[in-house]
């Protein structure tokens, strides 16, 4: 799996892009000021950094992502499971559910997902 590791600031930044893309670079500066409290220089530094990593594109002052939110989420979940639970889905689920209650609707949705995963 490709490395989609994003640090907190990078993730918040690319979320702004995902929510508004395609977005003009100056509009991105404005949104980052409003949502993240960033100055123009910070926004452009982050944009350059993620573009160098091949995660976003800034072409003719229009910014688009080159990765999907789901790709980053999948990478982060798999990394967390490997690091904290030795890749064990049951250990992950047990830890996640510890001290929580789930609704009947949530249980049914989880059961449906498990059934789909076992049919592959």
Q: Where are the domains of the chain?
A: 8-69, 88-120
The pLDDT assigned to 88 comes to: 92
Do residues 70 and 14 touch, judged by C-beta distance below 8 A?
no
The pLDDT assigned to 120 comes to: 64
- Per-residue pLDDT tens digits for 53-78: 999 999 999 999 999 999 999 999 99
Considering the entire predicted model, what is its pTM? 0.79
The answer for residues whose C-beta is within 8 angstroms of residue 4's C-beta and 6 or more apart is 55, 67, 71, 72, 74, 75, 76
Of the candidate CATH numbers 1.10.10.10, 3.30.1330.50, 3.40.50.970, 1.10.10.60, the domain formed by 8-69 belongs to 1.10.10.10
């Amino acid at each position: 799996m490709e490395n989609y590791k994003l640090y907190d600031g990078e993730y918040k930044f690319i979320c702004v892009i995902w929510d508004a893309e395609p977005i003009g670079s100056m509009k991105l500066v404005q949104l980052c000021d409003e949502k993240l409290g960033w100055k123009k220089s910070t926004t452009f530094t982050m944009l350059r950094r993620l573009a160098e990593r091949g995660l976003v594109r800034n072409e003719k002052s229009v910014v688009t992502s080159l990765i999907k939110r789901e790709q980053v989420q999948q990478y982060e979940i798999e990394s967390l499971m490997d690091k904290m639970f030795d890749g064990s889905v049951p250990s992950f689920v047990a830890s996640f559910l510890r001290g929580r209650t789930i609704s009947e609707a949530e249980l049914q949705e989880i059961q449906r997902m498990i059934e789909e995963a076992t049919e592959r």
